[in-house]
Structure 1
Amino acid sequence: MNFLAHLYLSPPNNNEIMIGNFIADHVRGNKFKHYPENIQRGIYLHRAIDTFTDSNEIVRISKRRLHERYGHYDGVIIDIFYDHFLAKNWDNYSQIPLDIYTNSVYQLLVDKKETLPEKTQELLPYMIQYNWLYNYQFIDGIQDVMNGMNRRTKGKSQMNLAIEDLELYYTDLENDFQTFMFELINFVAIEIDKI
């Protein structure tokens, strides 16, 4: 799952778990014991979500739709596509409108900027300036993300072409997402008490 899903799957009443869940990709190994306990819990939650996602058969079906063209980048693409479907169908998952939710997340991250790892601090201004979390709901927003990812891989990933595949498999991928998201929400509801 990508940024929006990780944030959404955090307990809504615990900002530190949300921060940990957000920053986890920029934290290596066990180098997070200096963080407060709830940020550590968020990092553990993020990793549990990633493990569950990577081993899930529905996600594997989604990846297989893309693997021939993108190889090992298929998982990254599916994570972003799933964030698209979450943003597009946000009203089915949250009573808080997406624009209000994303603005509150941005404000939280700005307020806690000194807590964030350096790579996250570098990413945050771009995320806010281009309103990634909100714009995931739009095809153009996803295209911008894919173009940026392709530039970061110096063109090797061909992720700039992924919108073609999103449009080709749109209904199937959206169905995959909805089925998987139901399973993932249930998994997190159980996992949150273990971390």
Structure 2
Amino acid sequence: MNYLAHVFLSGTDTELMIGNFIADAVRGKQLLQFPERVQEGILLHRQIDAYTDRHEVVAQTKNRLRPEYGKYAPVIADMFYDHFLAANFKTISGQDLQTFTQQTYTVLQANFNLMPERVQQFLPHMMQHNWLLSYAQLRGINQALSGLSRRTSFDSGMETATQELERNYPQYAADFDLFFPELLHFTRNWLEQH
């Protein structure tokens, strides 16, 4: 899952959300530098990623993408799933996506000094271009994937992935509809235990 899913799955706990948001920039024992609840958010992020990586529906999505996109299939699948979450956010969460994203940016900005340097570098750009809201539109997903493609060492082809999404939209939507309720259930159970 990508940024939108990770912050959404944190619920209303802001420290948990911060940890979940910054987790990809935190390696190994760096975890211990953060307040306890932020550490829990980092661990939650890792659990979400592990659950997603071993889920059979997500494997179907990645397998559909792999012939064209190879090792970048998991990245594209994450972006596709964030698109479906954003596009159906009101139905899934009961909240307005624009309101949710503004509240999220407010929390992240208020905790800017807590974030690793890598996150501090991209967060202003993320907010300025409203990535989280833009994921609801194919144009926004295309911009995100094109940006990722420019930053890869190899020819990833990710800049064409939105065309694949458009061609097979119902299949990818069906994958998301099967997977996301199970991820929600898994996350809620994890949160209850922690």
How would you bin the TM-score normalised by the shorter chain?
over 0.9
Q: Which residue of 2 aligns with 1:95?
A: 94
Measured in 2, the distance between the counterparts of 1:139 and 1:153 equals 21
* Partner AA of 1:116 in structure 2: M
Q: Which residue of 1 aligns with 2:54?
A: 55
* Partner AA of 1:48 in structure 2: Q
* 2:70 counterpart of 1:38: no
Q: Which residue of 2 aligns with 1:128?
A: 127
Alpha-carbon deviation of 1:169? 1.4
* 2:183 counterpart of 1:193: no
Q: Which residue of 2 aligns with 1:167?
A: 166
Measured in 1, the distance between the counterparts of 2:73 and 2:186 equals 23
Scaled by the length of structure 2, the TM-score of the pair is 0.97
Q: 1:113-152 to 2 correspondence within 5 Å?
A: 113-152=112-151
* Partner AA of 2:165 in structure 1: L
Gaps of 5+ in 1: none
Alpha-carbon deviation of 1:80? 0.4
Measured in 2, the distance between the counterparts of 1:52 and 1:154 equals 28
Q: Which residue of 2 aligns with 1:29?
A: 28
Greater helix content: 2
Report SS of the residue matched to 2:22. Answer: helix
Alpha-carbon deviation of 1:154? 4.6
Q: Which residue of 1 aligns with 2:4?
A: 4
Alpha-carbon deviation of 1:193? 2.9
- After TM superposition, where is structure 1 displaced by more than 2 Å over at least 4 residues in a row? none
* Alignment RMSD: 1.0
Scaled by the length of structure 1, the TM-score of the pair is 0.97
Measured in 1, the distance between the counterparts of 2:137 and 2:5 equals 16
Residue deviations 1:14-51, cap 9 Å, x none?
10000000000000122111211100000000000000
Number of aligned positions between the proteins: 194
* Partner AA of 1:134 in structure 2: L
Report SS of the residue matched to 2:113. Answer: helix
Report SS of the residue matched to 2:95. Answer: coil
Q: Which residue of 2 aligns with 1:108?
A: 107
Measured in 2, the distance between the counterparts of 1:166 and 1:88 equals 14
Measured in 2, the distance between the counterparts of 1:160 and 1:45 equals 30
* Partner AA of 2:53 in structure 1: D
Report SS of the residue matched to 2:159. Answer: helix
Alpha-carbon deviation of 1:168? 1.5
Gaps of 5+ in 2: none
Alpha-carbon deviation of 1:194? 3.2
Q: 1:78-89 to 2 correspondence within 5 Å?
A: 78-89=77-88
Measured in 2, the distance between the counterparts of 1:11 and 1:153 equals 32
